[in-house]
Amino acid sequence: MAKNALKAGRGYEFVKRGKGVLLRRKGAGAGGAGVNFQCACDLSGGCRVEIDGSEASCLENGCSGKCGWSVVIPGLSGVKLIARAVKPTRGPA
């Protein structure tokens, strides 16, 4: 998986929306609700989104700092989500 990449779980897909992506259930149609991930630069300049199968990447495109994702969950406001990347672990043997 690429740096700054999100991976959609089984039954979900990414759809490009403006400067980000929408994660929604497959087959939800153009108006399907979901979680929005916005790709942005922490300083100045730009970033771009690439979707490759079940992965969406937030890549530098003139950004003078680092590109990263912000999460927008419909129906929630005033909530700050803090996340960190972790390596997947295997379940019990």
Tell me what the pLDDT averaged over the chain comes to.
79
Query: What pLDDT is recorded for position 80?
Result: 55
pTM above 0.75, yes or no: no
Query: What pLDDT is recorded for position 18?
Result: 83
The answer, yes or no, to whether residue 71 has pLDDT greater than 50, is yes
- For 26-49, what is the mean pLDDT? 82
Question: Buried b / exposed e across 6-38, counting CB within 10 Å, b at 16+?
Answer: bebeeeebbeeeeebbbbbeeeeeeeeebebbb
